[in-house]
Amino acid sequence: MWLYIPIDDAKLKIKVEPVFEIRERYERRTDKDFLSNVSDNRGDVFGRYRAGVNLKGKDFTGRFVYQYAHDWVWTLGSNSSNDRSDMVEANASFSVDKAKVTLGRQRLAVGSQRLIGELNWHNVSNSFDAVSYERDRFSAFVAKQGVGVVPDKNLFLGGVTMKDSQGLTMAVVKTDELNNVQKGRLTLSREGKFKLGKGSVDYQVAGQIGHEDGKAVRAWAGFARYTMPVAKKIDGFFETNIASGGKSTDTVNTFDQLYPTGHDRVGLMDTTGWQNVRQLGAGLRFNVSPKETFKVQVMDLSLYDSGDSWYGVGGGVNTRTGGTYTDATGASGRHLGRELDLDFSYKFDTTYTLTAGAGVFWPGTFPQNLQVGSSNRQLWGYVAITKKF
Q: Which CATH code of 3.40.50.1970, 2.102.10.10, 1.10.540.10, 2.40.160.100 fits the domain covering 3-388? A: 2.40.160.100
Output the tens digit of pLDDT for each of the chain's 389 residues.
445 455 444 455 889 999 999 999 999 999 888 887 777 889 999 999 999 999 998 888 999 999 999 999 999 888 999 999 999 999 999 998 889 999 999 999 999 999 999 999 999 999 999 999 999 999 999 999 999 988 888 999 999 999 999 999 999 999 998 778 889 999 999 999 999 999 999 999 999 999 998 899 999 999 999 999 999 999 999 999 999 999 999 999 999 999 999 899 999 999 999 999 999 999 999 999 999 999 999 999 999 999 999 999 999 999 988 899 999 999 999 999 999 999 999 999 989 999 999 999 999 999 999 886 677 899 999 999 999 98
Integer Cα distance of 68 and 50 in angstroms = 7
Give residue 12's pLDDT. Answer: 58
Give residue 373's pLDDT. Answer: 67
Give residue 266's pLDDT. Answer: 96
Cβ atoms of 105 and 147 within 8 Å: the answer is yes
Cβ atoms of 361 and 376 within 8 Å: the answer is no
Give residue 150's pLDDT. Answer: 85
Tell me the one-letter amino acid at 103.
L
Give residue 317's pLDDT. Answer: 95
Give residue 9's pLDDT. Answer: 42
Integer Cα distance of 89 and 87 in angstroms = 6
Give residue 208's pLDDT. Answer: 98
Phi and psi at residue 117, to the nearest 5°: -150, 180
What 3-state DSSP class applies to 174?
strand
Residue 96 vs residues 102, 123, 130, 133, 161: alpha-carbon distances, Å: 10, 35, 17, 10, 19
Domain ranges of the chain: 3-388
Give residue 1's pLDDT. Answer: 45
Give residue 97's pLDDT. Answer: 86
Cβ atoms of 68 and 88 within 8 Å: the answer is no
Strand partners, 339: 299, 361
Integer Cα distance of 282 and 339 in angstroms = 11
Rg (C-alpha) for the chain, rounded Å, is: 22
For residue 303, give the DSSP letter. Answer: -
